[in-house]
Amino acid sequence: MQRDQSVPQPRLLHIETDYSSAVSKIDSPIDLRSARIDEYLQARSLAAKTQKAYRQDLQHFLRWTDKSWSRVTARQIAQFKTHLLRKENGQRVLSDATVKRILGTLKAFYGWLWRCGYVDRDPTLEVQLPKLAEPEADNLSDEQMEQILAAVAETKLCDL
Q: Is residue 132 part of a domain?
A: no
pTM of the predicted model over 0.75: no
The DSSP result for 100-134, as a single string, is HHHHHHHHHHHHHHHHHTS-SS-TTTTPPPPPPPP
Domain count, the chain: 1
List the beta strands (DSSP E) in 25-139.
87-88, 91-92
Residue 105 domain boundaries: 29-116
Question: Over the stretch 110-133, which tens digit does the pLDDT of each residue have?
Answer: 999 999 999 999 999 988 887 777
Q: Please report, for the domain that includes residue 39, its CATH number.
A: 1.10.150
Question: Over the stretch 53-81, which tens digit does the pLDDT of each residue have?
Answer: 999 999 999 999 999 999 999 999 999 99
